C-alpha cells in the first residue's frame, strides 16, 4: 500500500501519466500503446501478441510458475522480454523503455495461430483414416 500511494503521488505531478490499478478490458489500452509492460497472464499475453506490441513481461512466480514459464518461452522465441520479479527495480524498466524497437519479432511470424483450422484438418484426417479402416472390415 505504501508503494502504491507513492506511485499515485508521483503520477499526480505528471500531467501525461495515469496509474490504472486494474483494467477489466485492456485491449483498448494495448492496441494504442507503443510498448507494454505487464504481467504474464494468458489473456494479456494473447492481447500483446495479437496487437504485435513490444512487451516487457514481469510475470507472477508465486504461488505458481505458469506465468514465468509462458513468458520465458515467448522470450526464448524472441517475441518479448522478461524481467523476473526478483529483479524488478527502475533501472531495467528505464533501460527497456529507452531501448530501440528495431529488433522486435512479431509472434504471428513465428507462431502458428491457426488452431481452429489445424484442429479441423486433424479431425478430417482422422475421420478419413477411420473410414478407410472401417471399409476394410
Where residue 70 sits, what CATH number does that domain have? Answer: 3.40.50.2000
Residue 17 falls within a domain, yes or no?
A: yes
- For residue 137, pLDDT beyond 70: no
Distance CA 38, CA 96 (A): 13
More confident residue, 136 or 62: 62
Residues 6 or more apart in contact with residue 57 via CB below 8 angstroms: 37, 38, 39, 40, 45, 48, 67, 71, 74, 75, 80, 81, 82, 83
The count of structural domains within the chain is 1
Report how far residue 24's alpha carbon sits from residue 44's, in angstroms, rounded to the nearest whole number.
11
Structural domain of 62: 2-109
Judged by average pLDDT, the poorest of 10-14, 29-33, 45-49, 106-110 is: 106-110
The answer to the question of residue 120 being in a domain is no
| pTM over 0.95, yes/no | no
Under 8 Å CB-to-CB from 45, ≥6 apart: which residues?
57, 70, 71, 74
Amino acid at each position: 500500500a505504501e508503494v502504491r500511494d507513492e506511485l499515485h503521488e508521483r503520477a499526480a505531478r505528471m500531467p501525461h501519466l495515469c496509474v490504472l490499478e486494474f483494467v477489466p478490458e485492456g485491449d483498448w489500452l494495448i492496441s494504442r500503446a507503443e510498448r507494454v509492460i505487464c504481467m504474464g497472464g494468458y489473456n494479456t499475453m494473447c492481447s500483446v501478441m495479437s496487437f504485435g506490441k513490444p512487451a516487457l513481461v514481469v510475470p507472477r512466480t508465486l504461488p505458481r510458475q505458469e506465468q514465468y514459464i509462458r513468458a520465458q518461452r515467448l522470450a526464448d522465441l524472441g517475441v518479448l522480454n522478461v524481467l523476473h520479479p526478483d529483479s524488478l527495480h527502475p533501472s531495467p524498466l528505464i533501460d527497456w523503455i529507452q531501448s530501440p524497437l528495431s529488433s522486435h519479432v512479431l509472434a504471428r511470424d513465428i507462431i502458428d495461430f491457426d488452431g481452429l483450422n489445424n484442429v479441423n484438418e486433424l479431425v478430417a484426417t482422422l475421420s478419413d483414416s477411420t473410414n478407410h479402416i472401417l471399409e476394410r472390415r
